[in-house]
Amino acid sequence: MSLPRSLHPFDLVMASTRVYSSLPVVGRHLEPFAGLTAMAMYGHHYAPAAVRGMVTRRIGGREVAAAPVVVTGEQSTGRRRVPPYLSFRAQRQRCLYRSSVRYGDHPAQLLDVWRLPDLPPDAPVLLFVPGGAWVQGSRVLQGHTLLHHLVKQGWVCLTMDYRVSPVNRWPRHIADVNAAIAWARANVDKFGGDRNFVAVAGCSAGGHLAALAGLTPGDPAFRGELTEDADTSVDAVVGIYGRYDWQDRSTPTRRNFQSFLERVVVGHRQSRRPELFEAASPLARIHQDAPPFFLIHGEQDTIIPVGEARAFGDALAAVSRNPVQYSEIPRAGHAFDLVDSSHARRLAVEVGRFLGSVRDRQLQADTAAAV
């Protein structure tokens, strides 16, 4: 790892987190605190804008509260609902089929399998990658409304843990995602899934990892311990308020984000190792054979501004030979699927519709080829 030109108190704190996380026996239990420390030390940069955005959305919500909201064919009355982050336990209890399945040898390489007991044969598969600024990566809590919806539609859903910074440096995160994809391609039929249709989705940092995995199958830099014949390709990608640009330093906010990547996630300065940041940036990895993409973002996201998702979607649509669909949710901020039930349902329905159409096209193509 290259050291910063000048020692900063932040670097000392991060060094201490790596020390206590490496302790025998107890170290692995302390790793989450290292990530929380990093988020807390950088989070103050985003707090004012996040608070302003939350206030704006609440005021806007009261202004339109009397009007019904139509969400993909379902009408809601504007009354208060249980936030999704409070209903995840019930959703998980209804749909969890098998917990803590190993997709690799490391203790952190675990996933949960969600499916119905009476699943039809060869069900399509979605791997969900949680977010958390690359310093948290837990399969608990995130994405549960989406997974619950897809499971009811007859899908097998996998939600994963992966190794995170600052204890684990880039590209460990994407290597674990690829390991989970390869595991699904080789093993998901044991749980009723179709190994020939595996999609990947993720929120925030997980959206970045999902997009990067979809654009870079077989990249040797991102394979980790996988063998050369392991299949890391996916049939569709869903990016949910994801970060798609790891290179831009054009504004103070962007420079702050790049500093976070340098000090916490990558461990190298961008000026000294620009190729690392370019290789990890989905915006720089676009190509015409990209799988079908669905991008969804909140209009009032103050953590990852919506302009980044728009730019990535436009650039991808201009090049890719496969469908690229973009959806923007009015008055929604970052992590909207955790705090607003109507937004979470809209996300689930739109993603389900998109993935269903991709799956149908694949089945039609397979039938035509067989004939």
pLDDT in tens, 85-130: 566 677 777 889 999 999 999 999 999 999 999 998 899 999 999 9
pLDDT of residue 138: 83
∠ CA(332), CA(249), CA(165), 5° rounding? 75
Q: Give me the domains of the chain, ranges plus CATH numbers.
A: 9-370 (3.40.50.1820)
DSSP for residue 221: G
- Sort strands 110-114 and 123-129 into parallel, antiparallel or unpaired: unpaired
Is residue 259 annotated as part of the catalytic site, yes or no? no
pLDDT of residue 12: 57
How far apart are the C-alpha atoms of 363 and 371, rounded to whole Å?
Answer: 12
Given 161, 301, 337, 340, which residue is catalytic? 301
- Sort strands 74-76 and 96-102 into parallel, antiparallel or unpaired: unpaired
Given 144, 149, 173, 334, which residue is catalytic? 334
Nearest-CA neighbor of 294 among 307, 305, 309? 309
Task: List Cα–Cα distances, 148 to 74, 141, 159, 199, 296, in angstroms.
Answer: 17, 12, 12, 16, 18
How far apart are the C-alpha atoms of 266 and 170, rounded to whole Å?
Answer: 5
SS3 state at 102? strand
- Residue 151 makes CB contacts below 8 A (sequence gap 6+) with 95, 114, 115, 116, 157
Fill in the amino acid letter for 186.
Answer: A
C-alpha R_g of the chain: 20
Contact 111, 176 (CB under 8 A): no
pLDDT of residue 144: 93
Torsion sign over Cα 57, 59, 62, 67: negative
Q: Which tokens belong to 84?
A: 């999704």
How far apart are the C-alpha atoms of 347 and 352, rounded to whole Å?
Answer: 8
Nearest-CA neighbor of 306 among 250, 257, 241, 351? 241
Nearest-CA neighbor of 112 among 128, 127, 100? 100
Is residue 301 annotated as part of the catalytic site, yes or no? yes
Q: Residues of the chain whose pLDDT is less than 70?
A: 1-88
Given 21, 204, 259, 281, which residue is catalytic? 204
Fill in the amino acid letter for 320.
Answer: S
How far apart are the C-alpha atoms of 136 and 307, rounded to whole Å?
Answer: 25
pLDDT of residue 367: 85
pLDDT of residue 41: 59
Is residue 334 annotated as part of the catalytic site, yes or no? yes
